[in-house]
Amino acid sequence: MCKTQQIQSELKSLSATEMATKISRNAKKEEEKETSITERCRGFLTAPVTDISVLEEKKDEMSTKMEMLIMETQAEFCKALEDVEGGTFKVDKWDRKEGGGGISCMMHDGNVFEKAGVDVTVLLGCLTEEAVKQLSGEKVLKGKDGKLPFCAMGVSSVIHPKNPHIPSVHFNYRYFEIEEEDGSKQWWFGGGTDLTPVYIDREDAFLDVYYFKFNVKSKYVEFNLMYDRGIKFGLGMPGCRVLMSLPLTARWEFMHEPGKGSQEAEMLEVLRNPKEWV
Enumerate the active-site residues.
Answer: 170
Return the half-sphere exposure (C-beta side, CA atoms, 13 A cut-off) of residue 227.
Answer: 8
Q: What is the DSSP letter of 104?
A: E
Distance, in Å, from the CA atom of 144 to the CA atom of 189, rounded to the nearest integer, reads: 24
The CA-atom distances, in angstroms, between 256 and each of 220, 224, 226, 252, 262 are 16, 21, 21, 8, 14
Residue in 122, 154, 110, 103 with CA at minimum distance from that of residue 54: 122
Q: How far from the centroid of its chain's Cα atoms is residue 144's Cα?
A: 29
- Show the 3-state SS of 47-64: CCCCCHHHHHHCCCCHHH
Paired with 90 in beta bridges are 106
Distance, in Å, from the CA atom of 276 to the CA atom of 34, rounded to the nearest integer, reads: 52
H or E segment to which residue 72 belongs: helix 62-85
Non-local (6+) Cβ contacts of 156 within 8 A are: 118, 119, 121, 170, 171, 172, 173, 174, 230, 244, 245
Non-local (6+) Cβ contacts of 231 within 8 A are: 224, 225, 242, 243, 245
The alpha-carbon radius of gyration of the chain (Å, integer) is 26
Distance, in Å, from the CA atom of 198 to the CA atom of 183, rounded to the nearest integer, reads: 49
